[in-house]
Amino acid sequence: MREHFFKKGYETGIILIIITLLVMLIPATPNVMKVAGVWPSPGIVYKGDNGIALTFNVELGDDSVLWLLEELNKEGITKATFFLDPAWIDRQKDVVKEIKLAGYDIGIYDLHPTRYDTLEEKDIAKHLVDLRTFFSEHDLEAGYYRTKDELLPPSVIKIMAKHDFIVVGHQLNGKDLSAKKNNTLKGAVVELEVPNKLEDMKSSWKEWSSVLNDRGNNSYVTLLELLASSDSKIRLLD
């Protein structure tokens, strides 16, 4: 009886060791890739099939951003992504805290993408690590990346994918909404520039919301929800 007990315990221990080793061999999944289909290939995300992903670019302003946060709260819009210029974060730390308290997702807004033209891969990788460290020091988790005006070269986007950044473009922007062009909101990533002046913010939001309020059954979703809910549209790279 005693021999049988020890034999059984020995066998159980071997099985547990084997299971532990197998688990250790399974590659870890980055945080931004926990949802299936988020990153089928390096590229720029601009559209999904369902929902609307609101995104805001912030490089200037304080009162305008605070007003926008209040307006989003009044309208019950709890899902959006704020792309923040690192220099603005240093200047407006109190406003940054309000964005974080509101629970919105955070992305990096790069105003100077041409810097990558002269950098080697190791230097680009170091810059990305430094950026993520900077955001972490401000208690911000930034998994998204967007550039101002210019598209990044495919080679740079591939490096960003290695560092678990999702590069985000848009299907519609503020000019499209103001001109009431291309009113197909379903599945769209909407990119909106937050003005510096409060008056401009109020007038811009009035124009944008007049179109957004006519969204039918399309609810606001996070970027990850947009990506995970459908066969998302990504400008794929070769």
Which tens digits make up the pLDDT trace of 189-209? 999 999 999 999 999 999 999
- Mean pLDDT value of segment 172-185: 79
Q: What pLDDT score was predicted for residue 58?
A: 97
Q: What pLDDT score was predicted for residue 35?
A: 37
Asked if the structure places residue 153 within a domain, the reply is yes
Q: Express each pLDDT in 91-150 by its tens digit.
A: 999 999 999 999 999 999 999 888 888 899 999 999 999 999 999 999 999 999 999 877
What tokens were used for 196? 């510096």
Asked if the structure places residue 50 within a domain, the reply is yes
Asked if the structure places residue 23 within a domain, the reply is no
Domain span at 184? 30-236
Asked if the structure places residue 89 within a domain, the reply is yes
Burial label, 145 (beta-carbon count in 10 A; 0-12, 13-18, 19+): buried
Asked if the structure places residue 14 within a domain, the reply is no
Q: Express each pLDDT in 47-72 by its tens digit.
A: 888 889 999 999 999 999 999 999 99
Closest CA to 201 of 56, 46, 5: 56
Cα distances from 168 to residues 90, 136, 192, 203, in angstroms, run: 23, 20, 13, 26
Number of domains in the chain: 1
Asked if the structure places residue 3 within a domain, the reply is no
CB atoms within 10 A of CB 212: 20
Domain harbouring 90, CATH code:
3.20.20.370
What tokens were used for 171? 């299907």
| Beta bridge pairs of residue 109 | 146
Asked if the structure places residue 47 within a domain, the reply is yes
Asked if the structure places residue 22 within a domain, the reply is no
CB atoms within 10 A of CB 196: 15
197 — alpha (psi -120 to 50), left (phi > 0) or beta?
beta
Span of 75-79, 214-218, 227-231, 233-237 with lowest mean pLDDT: 233-237
